[in-house]
Structure 1
Amino acid sequence: MANSRSTEQPAWQRNPVFEFFASLKLAVVLLAVMIVAAIAGTIYESSFDAKVARAYVYGAPWFNIWLVLLGANLACSALSRWPWRKHHTAFLITHLGIITLLFGSLIGRIWGIEGTITLFKGEPPTNRLLVNERQLRVHDIDGMVKGYPAEFLHHPPSPQHPRDLGLLASGARLQIVDYAPAIEGKLNPKPASDGGAPASAEASPGRPALHFNIATAMMNQHLDGWLLADDSQHGNFSMGLANIELKRGAVSVSSSNGRDDSPSRPLSESEAIPKDQAVELEESIFAFSKAPDEQIGHVAKGGSTGAKVRLLPPTNGNKGELAILLDGKESRIDVGANLGREIGIDDTLFTLKIRDYWPDFRIENGKPSSISDQPNNPAVLVTIRGRGVPAAASPDAHGTGKFATANPSIGGQMNATGGPPAMPVPGEETPNHLTLFIADDGTITYELASRKNGKSSGKIELNKPLPTGWADWQLIVDQTMPSALPHMDFIPIKSEQTTMSSSAAADLPDGVRVRVQQNGETFEQWAPAGWQIAIPTSPDATLVAYGWKTISLPIGLELLDFQVKRNEGSDSPAGFKSTLRVVTPDGETATGACWMNNPFSFPGAWWRTWTGLTYKISQASWNPDNLGQSTVQILRDPGWLLKWIGSLLVVIGVFMMFYLRPYRKQTEGEPITPSVPNEEVKREAPLVSAPVL
């Protein structure tokens, strides 16, 4: 019977190539590899991120080939049952569903679009979509902007094994010769007479510049940098709790040398509270082991608690102890045993939570960090909460105006107005501020504001230290330029070379080192992400930029409004919504809103939505510091409908096979195999007559 069945099959079904693609063995191998790949992709995604999983598995070329092979196997398996019978219906529907699902997935992977656009209120519509892929863009001398893939998750280029990108229009050869996961940019201005690259129109033709050093022996930290006068980008230097600024001119003499007590000055929260009224207080305090008198506080609610917090030096490998003076009583708390816990302060109505601890405290990019695990400069951040009278209004029970210290290790006495100097509230200028002025004749003067010493002003001589009053920080100006143009030096930060904290390094952009060879000359320069550099080729400079891949959409988006809904009784956001206008080159416009889990689609015709030929716009993120900014995600998947149809067909086919009796009959006949003797066919009959799905 098997031989007669085999002879009845069309010749194309007996073709060895067809038999190979229709074989059950191939299906088992394909499915087994896909299962292993799915497991590997899940591990990669959980251990690293989705981008790594896409690069090695889901977005790799071999995975697309594997999907095509699986589709071919399913199609040939279905065709091997030709001519089809009624009991083949469920089998065919299931296979057709899987093939349709795979086909829709391939269409979405190849022609789909997914990326983000950051919009700003008041700006014109934009169609530049950022895709989660790195790219090197070159503005060639022929006016063309060329993009080259620059993803380096594995096998990054090196000087010994550069990535060759080919020839440019000028005949120069372009290569990527190195990659760095973090690049630090430092301003190194050039004299205006030597040319340079103005960063913006406002920076041309040249501005006064000076170079300064600021150091602290107590924290064993040294910082330096250049400042350009009255430059919005390069005229400020932030140390986190202190700022340095450079302006043209000379210091202005002001009669005000303290706090503004004019009637128009708004009262602070603690000043507005009646002096004898107890309220809820909340205060955060920085304390430094090497600077016990330099604690820094920030009042979050009610007013200052009046607490004096000192971090005692670590001993025997511990993190040290906190010595807290509050309401005339002293308490000791072990830092290591209570880190992250909220505990009560003995004999008071207040609680204390140790929020963070840095064994080797440094300010990196304006943020507190630790550059090592050694207790070279311990610091701690605590939050104190409780109900009481704000310290600024608290009367001294002894009438002396001071609290006595209960322990000599705490030291001295504390003013009854007490508590640490306040940190600035959001949007308020930091109290520790140094403004430098440079006159046309090169004279340098300053205005200095310090929490510790108040305000002062004067003249600065080159190479002479200026005590700032910020702990033991001292500033030295060692170089000036009467007219300078901005120029950036980019320095790669390799993991084996840097002493920078991981959090600070994470804020730095990655970058590539570009090499251009032309007429026997070689030019090399680092290009950090988000920056554009100019390489001096002839006849004109070649502009190179490294960053996210951009795609021009056929639609433009404009942010009309951005709203943030707050939780009742607090400032925490409950949700945010963007109101957008979509424009097309034909002049068509549409207005819609998107918020979390509520996308806005354009065009809005139902048939476009059902076929996936629409742009789905979803709320992606927002900037709490700028409510005129919103980031939206754009998704377009032309294979969307096929994936849904395929999934539905699979469900229908499986249901028919298991629950509808007419379609549960076992498929008759033999699989496509070469003719064999009858005895072998009979011996193998139980095996070959097994149902095939």
Structure 2
Amino acid sequence: MLESGRETMIIRHRPAERSIHLEPRSILAEDVDLRMANSNSSEQPGWQRNPIFEFFASLKLAVVLLAVLIIAAMAGTIYESSFDSKVARAYVYGAPWFNLWLVLLGANLAASAFSRWPWRKHHLAFLITHLGIITLLIGSLIGRIFGIEGTMTLFKGEGPTNRLLINQRQLRVHDVDGIVKGFAAEFLHHPPNWQHPRNLGLLASGARLQIVDYASAIEGKLNPKPVADGGAPALHFTMSTAMMNQHLDSWLLADDPQHGNFSLGLANVELKRGAAPNATEGRGDSPNRPEPDQSTNRSEAKEEVDLEESIFAFSKAPGEQIGRVRKGGSTGAKVSLEQPQNGNKGRVLISLGEREASFDVGENLGREVTIDGTPFVLKIDGYWSDFRIADGKPSSLSDQPNNPAVLVTIRGKAIPVAEAATNPHGGGKQLTATGGPPTMPATGEEAPNRLTLFVADDGAITYELVSRKNGKSAGNIEINKPLATAWADWQISVDKMMPHAEQRINFTPVKSDQASTSSADLADGVRVRIQQNGETLEQWVPAGWQVTVPTETQRR
């Protein structure tokens, strides 16, 4: 072992390995002055060592804030592509939490910059970068809160313009002083209600304006106003069908292009001035009205072909069914539905000539079963406990068996029946390819069933009725006396008539439990309240409409 003043080298001989191993070992001289390294933290100001400041200046907080902003930007892009920019702005870019997140990011950047205090020359690039980002965030917040976003179109060669297209709903008020005032009316978040109305301030007349409610779908219905002279005749009618358990009503304004017609798809009701041609007392008749063919005789063709027919049957109207031949010809089947009992779905009764069969709806729903003694098979395609027609499609209003209906398809190889007696509307063109309800006529094609009502100068009401089933007829109509239309089992009754009336529209919100796919085509709207001199007036205003609301001084 060799030893010096500062190092010791140990030489060990290991016979087994026949090698020499050297191990250097450092030692400290006794005269070495041990000093503690100066800590930078001891030179920091007290506010930099504050836990709250250290939290806002931490790198971990910056990483979390940036990660959430990246995820939010991705979500906003998906919302904008899946819905529209308004949804993305409401739930992401314009949401309060997004503004708060930007404020936190700005605070993190500012705290990070102040954590280098006192600043040195080499901190200049670092400070400029942070200050630039903070400036952008402040400008963004100011623009988002107080700015107006829109589109201004400029055309080459034309003069300047000051028209700005704003992609935002506004309630525009044409005040009595001639000034048009605009109020923001976007309510995807926190819409106003009766308990928390949105105050819009005072109008020029001194009236106070508020928005007290919002509806995503507003429906407008004609409610004509009677006048002493002039205007046009108006009448109110009701239509009902027991087979579909539906009741409809509407006002009509004579010869009005917008409110003079009521469409049921396959049937139209129209109101005109004058008198029906060839109108007679009671229900008229026409030589071209065919007698309903109730026979189920097979056609003269003796060759068997593939047949397929879909038929709607209703338990409340056992004598009525709606069918469509889908292939080959009619099967001649008579289908009825028994009323459900004890929680079941009832039974389908099939009559094919002299053969009859019945099938439990619940057990055979969606299955193909053979009709014994016939070449046909039956499939129960659908069942509705409370049948309604909504948007041209069958639906169920509830789970209760208030109006049970069933759709069956019968197929097989046989000789077709000469006339399909299962369709009260006439030819198969009127029914859908699924055997469902009648389809809408093609564009430009006249509805096969029409009812034209006429109001004479003396107030007499006459009609001209066209039915694919029973041809054409004409006659007089008495108030509150039903008229059978021969459109399945629909009946119409006129219950009110005004000889002189003006157009007036009543707007009402569509309730969520009554909403359907057609509600997507309806405008949204707000309910405004005007208070003046102790009087209160409220009115629904749908988007795109101009509504006149009277104040002490009439405004437009």
C-alpha contact 1:437 1:445 (8 A) present in aligned 2:
yes
Q: Matches of 1:523 and 1:106 in 2, distance apart?
A: 38
426, 445, 464: which is aligned to 2:462? 445
Correspondence 1:612-627 to 2 at 5 A: none
Distance 1:502 1:424, change over 3 A: closer
- Report the Cα offset of residue 514 of structure 1: 0.9
181, 198, 204: which is aligned to 1:146? 181
Aligned-residue identity in percent: 67
Distance 1:33 1:50, change over 3 A: same
Q: Matches of 2:142 and 2:547 in 1, distance apart?
A: 37
Cα-to-partner distance string for 1:587-639 (whole Å, 9 max, x where unaligned):
xxxxxxxxxxxxxxxxxxxxxxxxxxxxxxxxxxxxxxxxxxxxxxxxxxxxx
- Report the Cα offset of residue 189 of structure 1: 0.4
Is 1:224 equivalent to 2:259 in the alignment? no
Q: Matches of 2:143 and 2:307 in 1, distance apart?
A: 56
Residue in 1 that maps onto 2:345: 319
Correspondence 1:424-443 to 2 at 5 A: 426-427=441-442, 428-443=445-460
C-alpha contact 2:391 2:517 (8 A) present in aligned 1:
no
Q: In structure 2, the residue corresponding to 1:73 is in which secondary structure?
A: helix
- Report the Cα offset of residue 218 of structure 1: 6.0
Which of the two has higher C-alpha Rg?
Answer: 2
Residue in 1 that maps onto 2:20: none
Matched residue type, 2:496? Q
C-alpha contact 1:21 1:73 (8 A) present in aligned 2:
yes
Residue in 1 that maps onto 2:108: 73
Residue in 2 that maps onto 1:535: 549
C-alpha contact 2:332 2:420 (8 A) present in aligned 1:
no
- Report the Cα offset of residue 5 of structure 1: 4.8
C-alpha contact 2:277 2:474 (8 A) present in aligned 1:
no
Residue in 2 that maps onto 1:483: 500
- Report the Cα offset of residue 244 of structure 1: 1.8
Distance 1:107 1:166, change over 3 A: closer
Q: Matches of 2:195 and 2:346 in 1, distance apart?
A: 49
Is 1:236 equivalent to 2:261 in the alignment? yes
C-alpha contact 2:243 2:314 (8 A) present in aligned 1:
no
C-alpha contact 1:307 1:418 (8 A) present in aligned 2:
no
Is 1:191 equivalent to 2:226 in the alignment? yes
C-alpha contact 2:322 2:423 (8 A) present in aligned 1:
no
Correspondence 1:414-433 to 2 at 5 A: 423=438, 426-427=441-442, 428-433=445-450
Distance 1:380 1:104, change over 3 A: farther
Structure with the greater relative contact order (CA < 8 A, sep ≥ 6): 1 or 2?
1
Is 1:166 equivalent to 2:193 in the alignment? no
Cα-to-partner distance string for 1:453-480 (whole Å, 9 max, x where unaligned):
4432111122322222344443222222
Is 1:257 equivalent to 2:274 in the alignment? no
211, 228, 234: which is aligned to 1:209? 234
C-alpha contact 2:441 2:447 (8 A) present in aligned 1:
no
Q: Matches of 1:97 and 1:212 in 2, distance apart?
A: 70
- Report the Cα offset of residue 138 of structure 1: 2.3
Q: In structure 1, the residue corresponding to 2:62 is in which secondary structure?
A: helix
Residue in 1 that maps onto 2:396: 370
C-alpha contact 1:424 1:430 (8 A) present in aligned 2:
no
Residue in 2 that maps onto 1:137: 172
C-alpha contact 1:74 1:99 (8 A) present in aligned 2:
yes
317, 331, 339: which is aligned to 1:291? 317
- Report the Cα offset of residue 31 of structure 1: 6.5
Q: What is the aligned length?
A: 479
C-alpha contact 1:511 1:529 (8 A) present in aligned 2:
yes
- Report the Cα offset of residue 184 of structure 1: 3.9
Q: Matches of 2:164 and 2:264 in 1, distance apart?
A: 35
Is 1:465 equivalent to 2:482 in the alignment? yes
Matched residue type, 1:214? M
Q: Matches of 1:377 and 1:325 in 2, distance apart?
A: 22
Q: Matches of 1:256 and 1:208 in 2, distance apart?
A: 32
Q: Matches of 2:473 and 2:554 in 1, distance apart?
A: 51
Matched residue type, 1:482? P
TM-score using structure 1 length:
0.55
C-alpha contact 1:184 1:492 (8 A) present in aligned 2:
yes
Q: Matches of 1:148 and 1:315 in 2, distance apart?
A: 57
Q: In structure 1, the residue corresponding to 2:319 is in which secondary structure?
A: coil
Matched residue type, 1:373? D
Residue in 2 that maps onto 1:601: none
Q: In structure 2, the residue corresponding to 1:440 is in which secondary structure?
A: coil
Cα-to-partner distance string for 1:376-410 (whole Å, 9 max, x where unaligned):
11123455677877x4xx56xxxxx999xxxxxxx
Cα-to-partner distance string for 1:143-181 (whole Å, 9 max, x where unaligned):
444332334455543344321111223332210123345
Distance 1:291 1:76, change over 3 A: same
Is 1:361 equivalent to 2:375 in the alignment? no
